[in-house]
Structure 1
Amino acid sequence: MIKIPERISIANLPTKIEKMKKLSKKLGGPDIYIKRDDQTGIEVSGNKIRKLEFTVKEAVDKGCNLLITCGGIQSNHCRATAAIAAKLGLNSCLVLKGNSGTELNGNLFLDKLLGAEIRFITPEDYKDKRMKIMEQIKIELEHKGFKPYIIPEGASNGIGGFGYYKAMEEIIEQEKEMNVHFDRIIVATGSGGTYSGLLLAKKILNYNGDIYGVNVCDDDEYFKNKIYSILYESSEYLNVNLEFSKDEINILDGYVGRGYAISRQEELQFIYELAKLEGIILDPVYTGKAMYGLAEEIKRGSFKECKNVLFVHTGGIFGVFPQKDLFEF
């Protein structure tokens, strides 16, 4: 029996799995199911809280009282970090890619409401120096008497990956309850931690199904390297020898569109049509691009050998509001 690290229980788990009957019929491909990880909570909604349950447990065990992390201006991860910090009586400092003149909306508004200290940095500094900047902030805050803990982007590191190891355990149990097996599991990929956790569990638990990530930034080579690195970092927490190959990592590349958090009209129209069709709201940054990619791949026949596929809804509803004026009704 493999023993994984301990976690703090914050999220509403397990999240349910629903069949998307109308979308499945419309696309004429496999039956599409959706795991509602958008319902892990309100303040902590989405996939990030699963990873933070493990990451923050490590921080608390080390006696830390302040969480430092980073993300985009509408980062779901940063908002969830601010929420879990407030809930546990910790302080939080968020390093956001953007500027202080940004309209206070969506996740950014919630960051403020939850009491997080916010530091804005340029896109260039975020790309090249974000870890160095967080290390400098850590030193600064230590001088003020805090004991900070740095959480990388998306909590996508070795310890955070166990959030989706646990999610795979849930999925396997739900398959038994529902008497269904998923040939493929699809997830939006933005920092790699969600995918790596699922793949780690697939290998250890001998799950007979493939994991596919739809990248919302960068390209397949970047994510294969990133996920590969996180997998080995996670394996260091386990007393077992695991071998991974980059060939095991499946990325559905080609749906980044205009870039990270930048939407094309066809993506927004897909989000609108799906909301009317299924009563499920996707976000423009992650799940909208990923589900759009899945639908396009089904139309192309890429999933014709599949009977059932599972899409993991990783949340992000607050990211819809800053882009509300771009929708055409």
Structure 2
Amino acid sequence: MNRDGTAVRKSLPIELPARLRLANLPTPLQPLSRISERFSYPCGGPRIWVKRDDLTESGMSGNKLRKLEFVTAAATGQGCDTLITCGGIQSNHCRTTALVGARLGLQVQLLLRGGTSEEMDGNFLLDHLADASVAVYLAREYKEALSGLFQYWAEDYRSRGHRPFCIPTGASDGLGIWGYIEASRELMTDCLAYGFEPEHIVCATGSGGTQAGLTLGCHLLETGCKVTGYAVCDNAAYFQAKVREDIRHWCALVGEKIETDALAVCVNADYIGPGYAQAERPVYQTIAEVASLEGLLLDPVYTGKAFHGLLQDLNMGKYAGAKNLVFVHTGGQFALFPYRQHFSFLGD
């Protein structure tokens, strides 16, 4: 039941599009009892749960796989044989796309933002193991010329007789957000099985698609749940606009009408730190503490930053009075290893 006494819708009021079953679903919903006892209950906060989307698969683990179920269905449905996408050098999305392509027998071209001599580590190593073609660009060229780079590589593959399908950053658009529209239904079903409806759902937001899908999904399901994205880059205004842009794109694709300006798009941009993929010592300490308390692995790019921000807000009483909060673990553990030097404090 919603907090106003109305029933939570258990099924989406709209038919899902074509989908390739790639993920191991449903993922578990687990209580974080020791985290709750140490950080939340003393401040009057809720019980903390985690939706384990880091377990969607093994090498393809994380939130990106849910999105790619719908994206690759569209690509193969159009007869495409090549996936072209982009991201940072340690992009979880690019690593997942590379491995999905290998699994489906599709070629993959990655456009990566990085340096001139990147170490073969973490996700970047997995990109190569999956035999993806990799083109690395310096940050300025990547930012200024990304659309042109997509066009260049798409034309290059067409000239060689291939049919490319271009996927935006994080697969975050009106097609990709289907992954978390459907995940919101799965999550609410999980919660109802445990006898509660969460007041809050929290996730890291780096390209906006996961937050857009959860926000729209909770709206379609008519829940009273507030979705908050902890930004790992850019700013709150950017993600508020991006989430609404993705939802408007979804509306255009499916022919639905939703007043996106009326949707509550909640973004916390207080814990970005020095910038994307850059974290300060307290974030690494949070990652270590969560691992030691719950056996849960976070990463310094996405989930570690978001969970660190959540713990700070719990300590300040920002979630006081709520009974249940779900943190959606979007994966990214492979990105721990390239940042190993930041854990030098372990054993002190």
Residue 140 of structure 1 deviates from its aligned partner by: 1.1
* 1:17 has 2:29 as partner: yes
Larger mean CA deviation between 124-133 and 214-223 belongs to 124-133
Partner of 1:142: 158
Is residue 99–residue 130 contact of structure 2 (8 Å, CA) maintained in 1?
yes
Is residue 4–residue 237 contact of structure 1 (8 Å, CA) maintained in 2?
no
Residue 22 of structure 1 deviates from its aligned partner by: 0.3
Is residue 69–residue 93 contact of structure 1 (8 Å, CA) maintained in 2?
yes
* 1:36 has 2:48 as partner: no
Partner of 1:273: 289
Residue 204 of structure 1 deviates from its aligned partner by: 1.3
One of 70, 73, 90 as aligned partner of 2:89: 73
Deviation digits for residues 60-105 of structure 1, max 9, x if unmatched?
Answer: 1111000000000000000000011000000000000013511100
Specify whether residues 92 and 244 from structure 1 end up closer, same or farther in structure 2 by C-alpha distance, changes over 3 A only: same
Deviation digits for residues 163-220 of structure 1, max 9, x if unmatched?
Answer: 0011001011112211121100000000000000111111111112100000000000
Secondary structure of 1:120's aligned partner: strand
- What amino acid does structure 1 have at the position aligned with 2:25? L
TM-score by length of 1: 0.98
* 1:199 has 2:211 as partner: no
Partner of 2:144: 128
| Backbone CA RMSD of aligned residues | 1.0
Alignment of 1:200-215 (within 5 A): 200-215=216-231
Equivalent pairs, count: 329
Partner of 2:8: none
* 1:307 has 2:323 as partner: yes
Residue 238 of structure 1 deviates from its aligned partner by: 2.2
Deviation digits for residues 261-308 of structure 1, max 9, x if unmatched?
Answer: 011001001101110011101001000000000010111111002111
Residue 246 of structure 1 deviates from its aligned partner by: 6.3
Partner of 2:7: none
Deviation digits for residues 26-68 of structure 1, max 9, x if unmatched?
Answer: 0122100000000001121000000011111111111100000
Question: Whole-Å Cα distance in 2 between the matches of residues 126 and 21 of structure 1?
Answer: 43
Secondary structure of 1:320's aligned partner: helix
Percent identity at matched positions? 39
Is residue 116–residue 138 contact of structure 2 (8 Å, CA) maintained in 1?
no
* 1:189 has 2:216 as partner: no
Partner of 2:18: 6
Question: Whole-Å Cα distance in 1 between the matches of residues 156 and 253 of structure 2?
Answer: 30
Residue 247 of structure 1 deviates from its aligned partner by: 5.8
Partner of 2:66: 50
Partner of 1:227: 243
Is residue 68–residue 148 contact of structure 1 (8 Å, CA) maintained in 2?
yes
Question: Whole-Å Cα distance in 2 between the matches of residues 12 and 56 of structure 1?
Answer: 16
Residue 127 of structure 1 deviates from its aligned partner by: 1.8
Question: Whole-Å Cα distance in 2 between the matches of residues 164 and 70 of structure 1?
Answer: 20
Larger mean CA deviation between 93-102 and 233-242 belongs to 233-242
Is residue 3–residue 238 contact of structure 1 (8 Å, CA) maintained in 2?
no
- What amino acid does structure 2 have at the position aligned with 1:220? A
User: Which structure 1 residue ranges, 5 or more long, are not aligned?
Assistant: none
Is residue 5–residue 237 contact of structure 1 (8 Å, CA) maintained in 2?
no
Question: Whole-Å Cα distance in 1 between the matches of residues 158 and 115 of structure 2?
Answer: 25
Residue 160 of structure 1 deviates from its aligned partner by: 0.1
* 1:59 has 2:71 as partner: no
Residue 113 of structure 1 deviates from its aligned partner by: 0.1
- What amino acid does structure 2 have at the position aligned with 1:22? R
Secondary structure of 1:222's aligned partner: helix
Moved over 4 A (4+): none
Question: Whole-Å Cα distance in 2 between the matches of residues 283 and 236 of structure 1?
Answer: 35
- What amino acid does structure 1 have at the position aligned with 2:16? I
Question: Whole-Å Cα distance in 2 between the matches of residues 196 and 247 of structure 1?
Answer: 10
Is residue 155–residue 193 contact of structure 1 (8 Å, CA) maintained in 2?
yes
TM-score by length of 2: 0.93
User: Which structure 2 residue ranges, 5 or more long, are not aligned?
Assistant: 1-12
Is residue 53–residue 163 contact of structure 1 (8 Å, CA) maintained in 2?
yes
Alignment of 1:151-300 (within 5 A): 151-245=167-261, 248-300=264-316
Secondary structure of 1:302's aligned partner: coil
Secondary structure of 2:260's aligned partner: coil
Residue 23 of structure 1 deviates from its aligned partner by: 0.5
